[in-house]
Amino acid sequence: MKFGIMVSAGPYTHQASDTAYYFTEAALKNGHEIVRVFFYHDGVNNGTSLGVPPQDDRNITTRWSALAEKYDLDMVLCVAAAQRRGLLDENEAKRAGKDVSNMAAGFNISGLGQLIDAGIQADRLLVFGD
């Protein structure tokens, strides 16, 4: 089965990001396809390279990055939501006149069209978060 995943909650605000991660990992391990993981609203905060959780806590961003690398997973941050929250890749940083990008490895930035495309390609689009 093909799944599209949308994550709309931040990494440490409640369980949605963890649940999305564990579902995505389990689906991939069981031979399912993940068309795309789209991070929307506060969910874009999963893609920051600047988060530093305590050493005894999980690092959700690192988990997502490792999963993307292992499975060649397409992970997209909504460009408008990301910009509002100060998350920029190199191109968006230049366009905004900023001198630094802060997007974690494995994440890309794009528009809502990518979410619509995931919904079209997938058999099911699952939403994690409010």
Q: Encode pLDDT of 107-122 as tens digits.
A: 999 999 999 999 999 9
Given this model, what pLDDT does residue 52 score?
87
Q: Encode pLDDT of 58-86 as tens digits.
A: 999 999 999 999 999 999 999 999 999 99
User: Model pTM greater than 0.85?
Assistant: yes
- 102: tokens are 């802060």
Residues 6+ apart with CB under 8 A from 27: 1, 3, 34
Residue type, 67: L
Active site (annotated) includes residue 39: no
3-state secondary structure of 43: helix
Q: Are residues 104 and 61 in contact, defined by beta-carbon separation less than 8 angstroms?
A: yes
Which of 67, 78, 79, 103 is an active site residue? 78
Q: Give the whole-angstrom CA distance, residue 100 versus residue 94.
A: 8
CATH code: domain of residue 108:
3.40.1260.10
| Number of domains the chain contains | 1
Q: Give the whole-angstrom CA distance, residue 104 versus residue 56.
A: 20
| Residues spanned by the domain of 85 | 2-49+58-128
Q: Encode pLDDT of 13-66 as tens digits.
A: 889 999 999 999 999 999 999 999 999 999 999 999 989 888 888 999 999 999
